[in-house]
């Protein structure tokens, strides 16, 4: 199914029958991706006394309880409420779901004991022109990201200057395949988060950060339209399913 999209006063055609899903599935066991020192997610039949809500156990339905943390267990989209004392809900602040986006592939560079995404790298790969969202795929890029146990591993992260550069480029939505845009252990500084949401100034309440995406290697760098599907949780973050559509 072809659809015509108007963006920046120009018409663009996309094929809605060929979505490119860049989210991680959530599994209820230890093979699921995991971050931030919490237990793995759980998906188990609901129990009430001797009743087990599972067809194979004699019930008429499958009726599962699910336990997970959106920040730790898969693709999620967060708003400024992630780092503010005042409550902000991603469900209230994200009111549009379709954006012009650019996919970039970056190999984080060495900085001391860390690997980082720098402003210089973004300047080199970010194309000219306007877009609403930037999607960052880091190298190396393997399916191991779908089950990686990130806690205490000091994953790559984004420097504050890089996040500020995206703000200057009027990027409202940042998507990345890392567990955080900030260093795992930074004593609460959260420099990239704060820069991207302009905490301390006119807070960018409409802006979002989506972490723990997975972009398969067959999806080429370039321009796409992004459908950012976010579960309607009244929370600072919610599970999400970003989907790309090629521009024909």
The mean pLDDT value for 132-147 works out to 98
Please report whether residue 58 resides in a domain. Answer: no
As given in the structure block, the two tokens for residue 207 are: 């802006």
In a domain, 32, yes or no: no
In a domain, residue 128? The reply is yes
- Please state the pTM of the whole predicted model: 0.97
- State how far the Cα of 228 lies from the Cα of 151, in Å rounded to an integer: 27
Distance, CA of 190 to CA of 66 (rounded, Å): 29
* Mean pLDDT for the chain overall: 97
pLDDT value at residue 57: 95
Query: Does 6 score more than 90 pLDDT?
Result: no
Residues 6+ apart with CB under 8 A from 179: 35, 36, 150, 155, 211, 212
Does residue 241 sit within a domain?
yes
Residue 234: inside a domain: yes
Residue 206 lies in a domain: yes
Cβ atoms 213, 174 nearer than 8 A = no
Query: pLDDT band at 204, cuts 50/70/90?
Result: very high
What local confidence, expressed as pLDDT, does residue 5 receive?
A: 86
Q: Is 45 within a domain?
A: no
pLDDT of residue 7: 87
Nearest residue to 173 via CA among 211, 212, 202, 137: 211
CATH number of the CATH domain containing 99: 3.50.30.50
For residue range 69-91, what is the model confidence (pLDDT) as tens digits? 999 999 999 999 999 999 999 99
Residue-range definition of the domain harbouring residue 16: 2-26+70-246
Domain count, the chain: 1
């Amino acid at each position: 199914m072809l659809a015509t999209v108007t963006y920046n006063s120009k018409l663009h055609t996309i094929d809605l029958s060929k979505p490119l899903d860049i989210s991680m599935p959530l599994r209820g066991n230890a093979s699921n991706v995991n971050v931030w020192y919490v237990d793995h997610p759980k998906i188990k039949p609901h129990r009430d006394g001797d009743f087990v809500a599972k067809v194979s156990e004699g019930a008429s339905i499958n009726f599962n309880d699910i336990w997970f943390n959106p920040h730790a267990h898969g693709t999620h989209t967060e708003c400024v409420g992630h780092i503010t004392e005042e409550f902000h809900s991603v469900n209230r602040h994200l009111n549009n779901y379709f954006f012009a986006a650019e996919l970039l592939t970056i190999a984080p560079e060495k900085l001391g004991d860390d690997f980082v995404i720098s402003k210089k790298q973004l300047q080199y790969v970010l194309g000219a022109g306007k877009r609403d969202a930037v999607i960052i795929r880091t190298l190396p890029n393997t399916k191991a990201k779908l089950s990686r146990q990130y806690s205490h591993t000091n994953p790559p992260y984004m420097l504050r200057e890089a996040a500020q550069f995206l703000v200057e480029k009027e990027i409202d939505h940042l998507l990345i395949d890392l567990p955080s845009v900030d260093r795992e252990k930074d004593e609460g500084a959260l420099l990239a988060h704060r820069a991207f949401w302009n905490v301390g100034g006119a807070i960018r309440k409409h802006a979002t950060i989506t972490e723990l995406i997975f972009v398969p290697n067959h999806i080429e760098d370039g321009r796409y339209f992004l459908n950012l599907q976010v579960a309607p949780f009244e929370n600072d973050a919610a599970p999400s399913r970003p989907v790309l559509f090629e521009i024909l």
